Structure 1
Amino acid sequence: MRRQNLALVMAAVADAGPLSRAAVAGRTGLTRAAVSSLVDELMTAGLVAERGPAPSGRVGRPGSALGPDPAGPAGLGLEVGVRHLAACLVDLTGTVRATARADHAPQDRDPADVLRQLADMAQELMDSHPSPTAGAALAVPGLVTPDGVVAHAPNLGWRQVPAAALLAERLPGVPLTVDNEANLGAQAERWLGTGCADAVHVSAEAGIGAALLVGGRLFRGVRGFAGELGHVPVHPDGEPCACGSRGCLERYAGAAAVVRAAGLREPAGDRVADLARRAARGEEPVLAALERAGVALGTALAGVVNLVDPAAVVLGGAYAELGDWLLPGMRREIRARVAVRPWDPGALTVSALGRRGPVLGAAMLTVRGVIEDPARYASAVAAR
């Protein structure tokens, strides 16, 4: 019971704070005496801090405002992208405290070397930040098993890579989770973006993934591999795909496909940024290629909308930078193909988090774990 009450108080302070002890009691239904005892326990664990007087609108001395302790434990977010590595630390308030990013070409390197470099980046961040690290999560663009093995990440060239075990060797004592980047991007959108609890989040760069939030929880499928939107066929007799099928969405809306359709050479740097610059200049072949990609995305997503009836569809990842040119075709196709049920075109939006979504979601996964079960964190600290 005490564990549940600690979580109730922590969630109230984190999600609605700053609040006085009396306000926390009102929100949770607990007595003021119980709240005071629980708050003392959370403060001792370094999870809650006083932030000055709390406005009450009443005559008399105001109580102290309580909020998550910004000097408390931080969440470490890690990401292996197709062309970059990223790491960040996020505190209990959801504030990003430190970031690091490096370009890389994973196809030309051993996965263990890539993860060693990422772990070194993470260690430098932790060394520079005084707060303890409560845990870490790694975002990867591929299929991940529950034990942290990257079963298949085609755009990285990875198969059966024990990512969690390799990282644990370099980051001893830091609890680790590995998940698909679209899943973590969707959770970042839930916690730091729109806040929508029932949504489809599309995350795209080289490949195209999706995540489905239902009641604020991820729908993962039987084996945890749900969300492979990039391999939904939009032209069943279309172009052959590397997955062995034909007409997959990635062959029409992946970044490489857009570059190819625009008649461009593969740029040496960031292909999405290059496409955005060219589109902003009004280059007709690029605009036509993005229109084609938007139509393909809309065709695939219309099926998703018809099947699961989400409140929102969010375009995230690198493709958020191309939203101005992708959304018109997407909206047109969804409107035309979702004809038997109401659909608000405004429900299709672009994430403000953009490319930062997966690494932020990875860091917030730990932060939310502490907020939702502070007793577990306090016990782990006491056991060290």
Structure 2
Amino acid sequence: MAAHSRAAASPRSPIAAADGPVRQSSVRAHNLALVLRHVAESPKPPSRAAVSSATGLTRATVSALVDDLVAGTLLAEVAPAPRTGAGRPAVGLILNPAGPAALGLEINVDYLAGCVVDLTGTVRHRLVAYADQRPTGAPGALTALAGLAGRLRELAAGDGLGLAGAAVAVPGLVAADGLVRVAPNLGWQDVPAAALLGATPALAGLPLTVDNEANLAALGELRAGGGARSFVHVSGEIGIGAGIVLDGALYRGAHGWSGEIGHLPVYPDGPPCRCGGRGCLEQYAGQEAILRAAGAPTLDALDPAEPGARTALTAAGSALGIALAAVVNLLDVDTVVLGGSYAPLLPMLREAIEGELRRRVLTADLAPVTLRPATLGADAAMRGAADSVIRAVHADPAAWLARR
């Protein structure tokens, strides 16, 4: 949906992409990323010799690069396991949990959230503030988010963690410069979120990106691992968004705004939607639509044994199944991941969703669609936001070293 996310560097960049002479600094940056990535992806701590063998770099080059990465707090050395054979056991290398951390933030209609994630992917701190963000408008919501970010930054500092950057997940269409073009459920239009947040004391001086929450949730799910390399991640909140991952890469579309599944018309003559259309999926399967139909105050209060709740959940599942069937027919993905409020509701939605998928997906008999809850649940967007910062460090460790 959104256009902006710091792209992970290719293993071959920047060298292979260069048409002219490559500067020594570019070679060093490439090799630093190569070494760091190998350590990050190794199932057990590799030695310097193992890194040299795997990357094709000389032992002397690897040793110099590792020294720089250790000095820059990106890597740490671990004591070798005892050996029974001849020779000195090799010192292993790991990502440094005390190195640069990431700040992942999320604005949603009825809550603000944030987390601090260290270089190993471990969540060190997590805060959630529940409140309707619509009455205060964009200025109020962004001010409150900056306050939450400030508290998280203090917690990170208390752990001795420096922040490599911050990323913000927003339920709307986001341009490359962090301008939120439209967020219908928040009532935002043309809000310069990145510029406004970057000017606050809590986020001043930090590299900052703003992206769509469904896109970031999908990236978080991809990193968390569920086995699928192609899937649609559907975030169910008051609004409904989808992040599309094809062959291990996020699909953004021509303008970066793909995935607006919440505004697919499932019943074209249905009720009006905030987007200006009628019968959109959000009007039947959005959080407020489900609660309104069930006559329940909160999702936690839904009791599937109660007829009103059962009817509401069946209707929501059917609408969601109709929309998902269209997506599956178009993209030929075989996995649908339900996140946000849909993750805990899946046992109550599954029968209706799968019924529509069986009826409407052309290839249902040949390749059944797997429907599962998100690995990261409701935290997927802010975790994905933090992960985008960590991936940027992995892709360009030289940039972090230059900041120290």
TM-score, scaled to structure 1 = 0.92
Aligned residue in 2 for 1:117: 144
Q: State the number of aligned residues.
A: 371
Q: 1:62 to 1:319 in 2, by over 3 A?
A: same
Query: SS at 1:53's partner residue?
Result: coil
Q: Which runs of 5+ in 2 are unaligned?
A: 1-26
Q: 1:89 to 1:55 in 2, by over 3 A?
A: farther
Decide whether the 8 Å contact of 1:189 with 1:195 is kept in 2: no
CA deviation map 1:228-249 (0-9, x unaligned): 0001111122222222212211
CA distance in 1, matches of 2:240, 2:356: 18
Aligned residue in 2 for 1:145: 175
Q: Which of 386, 391, 401 in structure 2 is aligned with 1:368?
A: 391
Q: 1:160 to 1:57 in 2, by over 3 A?
A: farther
CA distance in 2, matches of 1:199, 1:57: 46
Q: Percent identity?
A: 50
- The AA in structure 1 aligned to 2:321 is G
Aligned residue in 1 for 2:100: 73
Say whether residues 1:343 and 2:367 are aligned partners: yes
Say whether residues 1:100 and 2:123 are aligned partners: no
Q: Which of 323, 332, 338 in structure 2 is aligned with 1:309?
A: 332
1:206 Cα offset (Å): 0.3
Q: 1:4 to 1:334 in 2, by over 3 A?
A: same
Alignment of 1:151-300 (within 5 A): 151-170=181-200, 171-194=203-226, 196-262=228-294, 264=295, 267=297, 271-275=298-302, 278-279=303-304, 282-300=305-323
1:55 Cα offset (Å): 7.3
Decide whether the 8 Å contact of 1:272 with 1:321 is kept in 2: no
Q: 1:49 to 1:248 in 2, by over 3 A?
A: same
CA distance in 2, matches of 1:116, 1:322: 32
Aligned residue in 1 for 2:32: 6
CA distance in 1, matches of 2:206, 2:84: 44
Q: Which of 48, 53, 58 in structure 2 is aligned with 1:21?
A: 48
- The AA in structure 2 aligned to 1:256 is E
More helix by share: 1
Query: SS at 1:244's partner residue?
Result: coil
CA deviation map 1:310-336 (0-9, x unaligned): 242111112111011112221221122
Q: 1:89 to 1:195 in 2, by over 3 A?
A: farther
Query: SS at 2:243's partner residue?
Result: strand
Query: SS at 1:258's partner residue?
Result: helix
Aligned residue in 1 for 2:163: 133
CA deviation map 1:256-311 (0-9, x unaligned): 1112222x05x2xxx33333xx23xx212212211111111111111111111124
Decide whether the 8 Å contact of 2:33 with 2:394 is kept in 1: yes
Q: 1:297 to 1:6 in 2, by over 3 A?
A: same
- The AA in structure 1 aligned to 2:28 is R
1:224 Cα offset (Å): 1.4
- The AA in structure 1 aligned to 2:319 is A
Say whether residues 1:91 and 2:96 are aligned partners: no
CA distance in 1, matches of 2:386, 2:196: 19
TM-score, scaled to structure 2 = 0.87
Q: 1:58 to 1:7 in 2, by over 3 A?
A: farther
- The AA in structure 1 aligned to 2:91 is S
